[in-house]
Amino acid sequence: MTGITKKFGDFTANDDINLTVHKGEVHALLGENGAGKTTLMNILYGLLPPTSGAIRINGKQLNIANPNIAIANGIGMVHQHFMLVDTFSVTENIVLGKEITKRFGILDLQTAEEKVISISEQYGLTVDPKALIQDLSVGSQQRVEILKTLYRGAQILIFDEPTAVLTPKEIQELVGIIRNLTAAGKSIIIITHKLNEIKQVADFCTIIRRGCHIDTVDVSNVSEEDLAAKMVGREVSFKVAKAKQEPGEKVLEIKKLCVEDSRGIVAVDNLDLELRKGEILGIAGVDGNGQSELIEALTGLRKVKSGSIEVLGRNITNLSPGKIINEHKVSHIPEDRQKRGLVFEFNVAENMVLETYSNPEFSKGFRLLWDKIYQNADNLIKKFDIRPERSDIEARALSGGNQQKMIIAREVANEPEVLIAAQPTRGLDVGAIEYVHKTLVAQRNEGRAVLLISFELDEVIHVSDRIAVIFEGKIVGILDAEGVDETQIGMLMAGGSA
């Protein structure tokens, strides 16, 4: 890709970017949220036309006007949000649009299945070809997406933040798959915010900042700190500074809480937990041990089976989300920002008042005070460094990381008693992560109670004051974060005893 420029109106998302990828190489794309990584890859895959610039594959200049042309030229893309049909089988999804047919156009599922099995064995992409997509884990669904590109003959595979949604074990499996792919001569372009992953799998790394190409480096010659500094243009601190602080009065009290999951199976099992003012309590655990159901119960999004939840001594069990947010001041940074955090079609200013628009601050009778609503958004955009600095664009036009910043800004602005932060840094760049961690600590310093739920053990350890380990819906241990032993937490997370 040479001299790629992409403008959205008068905003330049890609500014004269060059990218060269060789056969059999893993090339990482690194850059802050909104730097223009996804845009560049969407151009390569034919989803967006570049404003100017040229793309050559094996020396041949191409006009990749749509994904079909990209696929025909051996380019495959695994998007961050999967594009599979839930009610179809694995094989049906893989062959969709490229079906093998018998006479009279009847789908030859048998032959298709054999082909899928042979590709999956070749690259170690274990998946049951007959399983329905809706029954598969996120990691398996991703393997289906990869198989789909290989089935169409991809030689260059683009992965947009493939590990953001994976568990640590699934990440290691993906690393193995990537090694198998490059061993077979495939080229990989991978977008990730995790510097350790770049060190682990990538040969080269291209760094983009605010739409511009900053550098392309041989990964073996640089440290994680070097990469971070190139990316944000300053030194980044990986540790979270926080002074010791005595927690205050009890804010949140959970007693003998039982919550069922959507299938009616016990997900939160007789759980007891207390949270005090001025502390960050981190919940560590492997995905699927009741974290989501716990958060949903606390925020009124899921009915509680038995037990109680109190905020400052007042019972909030099974109240509506609106009451819990506005009357009891429980704020929530949700784990799925696109489903539960914002409305794509609303602009930034509207999203900033989703929960509070009816407060006297923003409305008078039935009339919304638009001046105030925009002013509020403009303040938060400045304070939280949300890019681009515009309150009048639709939320969907913001990059993933900036969508997340927008939600965090809104929830913190509510001045909550309890701030529930679920995977608050998923998909964020290291500079933004530093910022979010500082924000959580600042909230704690101001005397708020923060509940942090994260699959990133490092994050839980660095940010929290106390750590509660959840396993099969129960708290199996509470530890002081300072000087905590990582292997001890790991043992508890796996259901062992510490």
Q: List contacts with ligand ATP (CB under 6 A).
A: 8, 11, 13, 31, 33-39, 387-388, 397-401
Residue 13 or 286: the one with the smaller Cβ distance to ligand ATP is 13
Selection from Mg ion, ligand ATP, none that 71 binds (CB < 5 to 8 A by kind) is: none
Residue 11 or 370: the one with the smaller Cβ distance to ligand ATP is 11
Q: Could you give the CA distance from residue 220 to residue 202 in angstroms, rounded to a whole number?
A: 9
Selection from ligand ATP, Mg ion, none that 431 binds (CB < 5 to 8 A by kind) is: none
Residue 12 or 318: the one with the smaller Cβ distance to ligand ATP is 12
Residue 9 or 59: the one with the smaller Cβ distance to ligand ATP is 9
Count of C-beta atoms within a 10 Å radius of residue 401: 25
- Cβ 432 to ligand ATP shortest distance, Å: 8
Selection from Mg ion, ligand ATP, none that 50 binds (CB < 5 to 8 A by kind) is: none
Rg (CA), the chain: 24
Dihedral pair phi/psi, residue 341, rounded to 5°: -95, -30
Residue 164 or 175: the one with the smaller Cβ distance to Mg ion is 164
Dihedral pair phi/psi, residue 290, rounded to 5°: 105, 0
Selection from Mg ion, ligand ATP, none that 284 binds (CB < 5 to 8 A by kind) is: none
Selection from ligand ATP, Mg ion, none that 464 binds (CB < 5 to 8 A by kind) is: none
Both tokens of 386, joined, read 């949300």
Q: Look at the block and give the residue holding tokens 């500074």.
A: 241
Residues near Mg ion, by CB under 5 A? 38
Please choose, from the candidates 429, 376, 385, 379, the residue with its C-alpha nearest in 3D space to the C-alpha of residue 164: 429
Count of C-beta atoms within a 10 Å radius of residue 424: 27
Selection from Mg ion, ligand ATP, none that 238 binds (CB < 5 to 8 A by kind) is: none
Both tokens of 187, joined, read 């080229």
Residue 284 or 349: the one with the smaller Cβ distance to ligand ATP is 349
Selection from ligand ATP, Mg ion, none that 35 binds (CB < 5 to 8 A by kind) is: ligand ATP
- Cβ 66 to Mg ion shortest distance, Å: 20
- Cβ 70 to ligand ATP shortest distance, Å: 17
- Cβ 254 to Mg ion shortest distance, Å: 36
3-state SS, residue 16 = strand
Cβ–Cβ under 8 Å, residues 271 and 252: no
- Cβ 228 to ligand ATP shortest distance, Å: 14
Selection from ligand ATP, Mg ion, none that 398 binds (CB < 5 to 8 A by kind) is: ligand ATP
Please choose, from the candidates 413, 416, 414, 415, the residue with its C-alpha nearest in 3D space to the C-alpha of residue 252: 416
- Cβ 412 to ligand ATP shortest distance, Å: 19
Task: Tell me whether strands 314-315 and 11-17 are parallel, antiparallel or unpaired.
Answer: unpaired
3-state SS, residue 39 = helix
Cβ–Cβ under 8 Å, residues 451 and 418: yes
- Cβ 400 to ligand ATP shortest distance, Å: 4
Cβ–Cβ under 8 Å, residues 130 and 90: yes
Selection from Mg ion, ligand ATP, none that 82 binds (CB < 5 to 8 A by kind) is: none
Q: Counting runs of H as helices and runs of E as strands, what totals does the chain give?
A: 16, 22
- Cβ 34 to Mg ion shortest distance, Å: 8
- Cβ 118 to ligand ATP shortest distance, Å: 34
- The H or E element containing residue 71 is helix 67-72
- Cβ 414 to Mg ion shortest distance, Å: 27
3-state SS, residue 299 = coil
Q: Could you give the CA distance from residue 113 to residue 119 in angstroms, rounded to a whole number?
A: 10
**Nearest residue by C-beta to Mg ion?**
38
Selection from Mg ion, ligand ATP, none that 437 binds (CB < 5 to 8 A by kind) is: none
Residue 191 or 295: the one with the smaller Cβ distance to ligand ATP is 191
Residue 8 or 357: the one with the smaller Cβ distance to ligand ATP is 8
Mutual orientation of helices 430-445 and 224-232 as an angle, nearest 10°? Answer: 90
Residue 388 or 490: the one with the smaller Cβ distance to ligand ATP is 388
Cβ–Cβ under 8 Å, residues 477 and 273: no
Residue 11 or 344: the one with the smaller Cβ distance to ligand ATP is 11
Dihedral pair phi/psi, residue 202, rounded to 5°: -90, 150
